[in-house]
Chains A and B, each alone.
Chain A
Amino acid sequence: MNDLADALQSDRATATGTARRWLAFASARRFDPLAGRLAPWFFAAALLLLAAGLYVGFRVAPTDAQQGEVYRIIFIHVPAAWMSMFIYLVMAGYSALALVFHTRLSSMMASALAPTGALFTVIALASGALWGQPTWGTWWVWDARLTSELILLFLYLGYMALEAAIDEPRRAERACALLALVGSLNVPVIYFSVQWWNTLHQGASVSFTTAPSMAATMLAGMLLMTLASWMYTIAVALVRVRCILRERGVLAPTDGSRSGSWAG
């Protein structure tokens, strides 16, 4: 009986210990050196995966029977489209954390992710247009997925505009967190409303419920590119959040400031 109680207690102790160790990184002072150490590794991983993904995509993967070489744009288009939606979700998650726990670092992570999300949305839209011209014969159609991707871009831009318009950093952080949460609740409604409105886009080729309808090497190339995008996003977000921490005066400007003009 005693043994059991002891075991339970020690279990709980280690559990709270682990939780505390993770929560410690909500402190900017602890998080900053970790982010600085990790960022180069994520950059290196992104470069390696990008090289591998491009090699598989452009040299190994076979030519598509129907679409010819044009289809190869999916190695950029699909990962970018996935990332654009996924990053908004992650931003909403960080924003919820920021509003519930009042952690400034969480909302800074959200605002560090926003430009990358907007970038991927633009890449998805532009590469889609480049693919649509030879395949559908038009740069743009008012199709459900294109439209919802465009509205997602507007949401990203609205988020960044609100952040730029508010001078006090704390108000900007919390207002943007609320906006991201409201937007993320609206995203599924927008998606379905636009889908019922009009649909021309080809059905999803990759889904988690049915067997994928593409060659294994194509899938491998796409997954490699997706992983590369993930690594790139993490690396850039870590670098950007370190800049934001210094911009907003949470951390004293360190290395660069000695030569910079704003050291005093």
Chain B
Amino acid sequence: MPALFAAIVLHDVSLAWRRRGSILSSLLFFVIASSLFPLAIGPDPQQLRALAPGILWVAALLASMLSLARLFAQEHADGSLDQLLLSPHPLALLVLAKICAHWVTSGLPLLLLTPLLAQQYGLPVSSALLLSASLLIGTPVLSLIGGVGAALTLGLRGGAVLLCVLVLPLCVPVLIFGAGAGAAADAGLDAMPQLSLLGACLALSLFLCPIATAAGLRISME
């Protein structure tokens, strides 16, 4: 089972690596979106610094939505999803492997880029790193919740927009705790409560979301 899990993650990551363009374009979206806010709000450094954690979190949330629709679409189109459903191994674990691979290719680059983008907003390095830490705990939750939405909207007309409509309201707690951790760190307060709550969200969704995603895939493929 661990070998199968690793094989699925490696397979998906290498497939994504061969189509680097889509990873790059969602990263580019993240960079552009977070650069638009100073243009709209104004260049006042004080104000920008106060808004930075929230803006970067919202931009990361939207950027991770972009790649969600691709989570099962390719496998659905070429029929390998049927093979996955027929496998004797628990579907929830196979799905978890795919979600892990999705996070490595979509969430991880975002959080590596965040300290750099935080410089646009004049965040000090320590709070920028803490913001990255909150993204490190938070973005897996986004991928996990997004997996449920991707399974439910598999193969539907206008599925990508519908996916955002379904998933974004469910991501509200992650956004609140994540941006809250960044803001608390910048205000010189202890960010641990928010990070702990994010960790609790991660633990809960790590347990529930793969099961729900597996059930959703079975419903969609019936």
Footprint of B on A, CB under 8 Å?
99, 151, 154-155, 157-158, 161-162, 165-166, 170-171, 174-175, 178-179, 181-183, 185-186, 189-190, 193-194, 196-197
Contact = CB atoms under 8 A, between A and B. Distances in A.
Given A175-B216, A178-B215, A161 B169 contact: no
A174 B148 CA distance: 13
Interface stretch (B13-21, B72-80, B84-92, B171-179): B171-179
A179 B216 CA distance: 9
Contacts of A162: 152-153, 162, 166
B44 interface: no
Given A165-B162, A178-B219, A197 B169 contact: no
B172 A190 contact: yes
Given A175-B219, A197-B180, A154 B169 contact: yes
Interface residues of B, number: 28
A165 B148 contact: no
A49 B169 CA distance: 35
Contacts of A165: 153, 156-159, 162
Given A161-B165, A175-B152, A178-B212, A194 B220 contact: no
B172 A193 contact: yes
A175 B154 CA distance: 11
Interface of B: 148, 152-153, 156-159, 162, 165-166, 168-170, 172-173, 176-177, 180, 197, 201, 204, 208, 212, 215-216, 219-220, 222
Contacts of A196: 176
Nearest to A151: B169
Given A161-B165, A171-B220, A171-B222, A179 B152 contact: yes
Interface of B is mostly: helix
A166 B156 contact: yes
13 contacts: A151-B172, A161-B165, A165-B157, A170-B222, A171-B220, A171-B222, A175-B216, A178-B148, A178-B216, A186-B170, A190-B173, A193-B172, A193-B176
Nearest to A186: B170
A178 B212 CA distance: 7
Most buried by B among A155, A166, A181: A166
B208 A171 contact: no
Given A155-B169, A178-B216, A197-B180, A189 B162 contact: no
Contacts of B215: 99, 178
Contacts of A194: 172, 176
Given A161-B166, A175-B219, A190-B170, 12 more contacts: A151-B172, A155-B170, A162-B152, A165-B153, A165-B159, A171-B222, A185-B208, A186-B170, A189-B173, A190-B169, A190-B172, A190-B173
